[in-house]
Amino acid sequence: MQNSSLDDILSRLHSLQDELENEIDRILDEKRQLFRYTMKQGKVQFEHGMKVLQRTQRTGIWAYLRRARIGHILSAPIIYSVSIPLLMLDLMITIYQHSCFRIYGIPMVRRSDYFRIDHQHLSYLNIIERVNCMYCSYGNGLIEYGREIIARTERYWCPIKHAKRTPDPHHLVEGFVDYGDAEAYKDRLKTLQSDWSKLCDSTSEKREQ
């Protein structure tokens, strides 16, 4: 009975998630019209008049630096030093999935689905702001990309829920077996390792959108 209630809640949650995604898409379409830009082959294109208007709102580099807090300037090398482990993580998880996922039969995580680096097209940002935005976009995209790779790995090797739920578990956890249920683990492990049809279907739908 408890599982039935949980399944019902999850079903309604997924329905609401789809509704939310549709509403976000609708709002994005309105914002594109309002701020006069379009997406062509994944690239942002602003109307010429909007780009001119944006340039008038850009803060010059020297004015930007003069207004900057000393703490922000001094901490910049620390922030950008993180780029080294991020690049190493990017390289290693990409090598990992392109080798091990082929062996395990796990569907590949498409890198382009997780990286959205487009703030450089905003003419109201100066070069420093653009670089900062691109760095943050890369870092966040990498973490999402890596999380999906690790989530699929966990589904293959250890699809067991935790005794205590984490604040923001990845989306595959819902299909894992209950903590302590040894029988379900033995019965479902092979299926979870081999059947990726639902994941592939949902991924295809998101790409089409």
Does 146 have pLDDT greater than 60? Answer: yes
Q: Report the candidate in 173, 168, 169, 143 with the shortest Cα–Cα distance to residue 158.
A: 173
**pLDDT, the chain, mean:** 88
Give the Cα separation of 163 and 7 in Å (integer): 19
How many CA atoms does the CB half-sphere of 106 hold within 13 Å? 23
Q: Model confidence at 205, in pLDDT bands (50, 70, 90)?
A: low
Give the Cα separation of 112 and 73 in Å (integer): 32
Q: Model confidence at 30, in pLDDT bands (50, 70, 90)?
A: confident
Q: Does this model's pTM top 0.85?
A: no
Max CA pair span of the chain: 66
Buried/exposed code over 172-189 (b: 16+ C-beta within 10 A; e: otherwise): bbebbbeeeeeeebeebb
Q: Model confidence at 22, in pLDDT bands (50, 70, 90)?
A: confident
**pLDDT for residue 172:** 94
**pLDDT for residue 1:** 45
Share of the chain above pLDDT 90, in %: 63
- In sequence order, which residues have a C-beta less than 8 Å from that of residue 42 and are 6 or more positions away? 112
Does 191 have pLDDT greater than 80? Answer: yes
- In sequence order, which residues have a C-beta less than 8 Å from that of residue 125 and are 6 or more positions away? 58, 119, 133
Q: Where are the beta strands (DSSP E) in the chain?
A: 37-40, 43-46
Name which residue leads in pLDDT, 177 or 28: 177
pLDDT in tens, 72-117: 999 999 999 999 999 999 999 999 999 999 999 999 999 999 999 9
Name which residue leads in pLDDT, 124 or 37: 124
Which bin fits 41, alpha (ψ -120 to 50), beta or left (φ > 0)?
A: left
Q: Model confidence at 203, in pLDDT bands (50, 70, 90)?
A: low
Residue 166's CB is within 10 A of a number of other CB atoms, namely 8
